[in-house]
Amino acid sequence: MTLNKISRYEIEKEIGRGAMGVVYLAHDPVINRKIALKTIEIANSLDTTKREELTRRMLTEVRAAGILNHQNIVTIYDYGEDILPFVVMEYVEGESLESLRKKKGKLSMDEIYPIIKGVANGIDYAHSMGIVHRDIKPDNILITKDYIPKITDFGIARILDASSTQDSGIIGSPSYMSPEQILGGTLDSTTDIFSFGVMIYYLIAGEKPFHGDTPHAVTYRILNEAPNPPSSYNPALTLHVDGVLLKTLSKKPEERYKKAGDVVESLIRAHTRPKERTGNTIKDMPPAKRNILSEISHVDTIIDEATMNLRRHSFHKKQKG
């Protein structure tokens, strides 16, 4: 379907496609600015009752996401219904993090630091406002020409879940789903922490921690198997980095980091620690040994963080005294 105009917005060109619909570069003649307009084409496949439910939930989610005002989050400007429901967002001139990774391959810790730091700031801000993204992944991170990351599609994953049916299979991004998300459990901020960990693993290892030929094979591994340490794919990484990411990817929400910023801080500390000396390279170690060493690193990282928290507590106590 070729569109020239939706509501007052003048369509210029298609710039992306997703599970729910199409994203267009458009022009707002009233404000005289470029915007990104996302049509919800999945609405056309629903009967009247389900479409009304979809649009009702969409308005609720867009209103919630619309309160977010942060430099690392794409701003939502408007919502409406024409031939299709649509969302109007800030237009980000740049590329997705997925596109950047495909061009560069594995990214070093130094390369990804400004990206994951910005993403973490955006995630933690949204969580402080009571909003969970539910679909953190490289495709949903836009990188501006100034190398500033911006998270897009807040609330879209929840709407997509609501519009799917039991026999429609898994819709969305199974590789980045947390175990509780797969099982349909209660979700909180830690589900975004899990997805954030999957994304970082993918960026620095060049492989996803849970992979398979089908969505169900992927979700089985997320629920039942521990991932290989990222250093098994990228020997430049230390076992301390392994430990941080294994904690982030814990199957139990209560065992993960509570804030995305804590993940980034722990990764930087882990990255700057001296590389362990072993008889063999990490890559050449059998999986069982690699997992044991990574668990040791995991505990080591927790001890470091507990020590730092104790020092902070003592410092604040002295100040109050």
Please give the structure tokens belonging to residue 97: 């993090």
Question: Which residue type does 113 have?
Answer: Y
CB atoms within 10 A of CB 307: 10
Question: Which residue type does 134 have?
Answer: R
Q: Calculate Rg over the CA atoms of the chain.
A: 21
Number of H helices, E strands in the chain: 10, 9
CB atoms within 10 A of CB 214: 11
CB atoms within 10 A of CB 185: 12
Secondary structure letter of residue 256 according to DSSP: S
| Cβ burial, residue 108 (10 Å; 0-12/13-18/19+) | middle
Q: Which of 28, 124, 135, 153 is catalytic?
A: 135
State how far the Cα of 301 lies from the Cα of 220, in Å rounded to an integer.
Answer: 28
Is residue 300 part of the annotated active site? The answer reads: no
Please give the structure tokens belonging to residue 312: 């902070």
Question: Which residue type does 193 have?
Answer: I
Please give the structure tokens belonging to residue 83: 């031939």
Secondary structure letter of residue 71 according to DSSP: T
State how far the Cα of 162 lies from the Cα of 175, in Å rounded to an integer.
Answer: 20
Which DSSP string do the residues of 119-142 spell out, in sequence order? HHHHHHHHHHTT---S--SGGGEE
Please give the structure tokens belonging to residue 76: 């939502």
Secondary structure letter of residue 208 according to DSSP: -
Please give the structure tokens belonging to residue 110: 């130094």
Partners of 73 in the beta sheet?
Answer: 151
Question: Which residue type does 46 have?
Answer: L
Catalytic positions: 135
